[in-house]
Amino acid sequence: MTAILFVLFAAVAIVCGINVVLRKHPVESALALIGTMASLSVIYLQLGAQFIAAAQVFVYAGAIMVLFTFVIMLVNAGAEEKSRGAWMARLAGGPLLVALIAILGFVVWRAFPGSEGVTFGGYTGGTAENVGRAIFTTYLLPFEITSLLVLIAIVGAVVLGYKELD
């Protein structure tokens, strides 16, 4: 059952990922990216990461992608025109990508040959309580620094978008 669900949602994720890259209109790419994030959230649930799965939907699909969709609609640029890329990119791009994925795949397959498989319920330590305890004890300093980082980002975004009312 775990395997069937994984294959199903992995297929959805890959198809949506291909759509993100190939669609001409940014709104369709954004929707495909939301589909990828939602299917990844299900895969996180399989891996026992309950809090991260919920946070993925909440933060990524519910906030970051809303921001993206907003900006796409505000800018209203329409579909992208075909551009004449450099001939070198078109020649070597495809094979280099295939090489990249081949190398990554080789490393992945060799590194974990006989490890026990993943079953739903195999790891129950991903609860909000565990994650919260780790964040607020072991990783407190990175947490505080990340909060400062978000504050800086917000201030930066406001400064960038500020319009003088004159």
The interface with other proteins within residues 72-101 (CB under 8 A) comprises: 72-75, 77, 80-81, 83, 85, 89, 93, 97, 100-101
User: Is residue 6 a contact residue for other proteins (CB under 8 A)?
Assistant: yes
Quick one: which H or E segment has residue 156?
A: helix 140-161
Scan residues 115-134 and list those touching other proteins (CB under 8 A): 115-119, 122-123, 125-128, 130-131, 134
Cα distances (Å, whole numbers) of residue 50 to 64, 96, 132, 151? 20, 36, 12, 27
User: Is residue 4 a contact residue for other proteins (CB under 8 A)?
Assistant: yes
Quick one: which H or E segment has residue 75?
A: helix 65-75
Scan residues 9-38 and list those touching other proteins (CB under 8 A): 10, 13-14, 17-18, 20-21, 26-27, 29-31, 33-34, 36-37
Cα distances (Å, whole numbers) of residue 115 to 40, 48, 109, 110? 22, 17, 11, 11
User: Judged by CB under 8 A, which of 8, 35, 42, 70 binds other proteins?
Assistant: 70
- As a whole number of angstroms, the distance between CA 117 and CA 103 comes to 23
Least distance from C-beta 121 to other proteins, angstroms? Answer: 11
User: Judged by CB under 8 A, which of 112, 141, 165, 166 binds other proteins?
Assistant: 112
User: Is residue 63 a contact residue for other proteins (CB under 8 A)?
Assistant: yes
- As a whole number of angstroms, the distance between CA 156 and CA 158 comes to 5
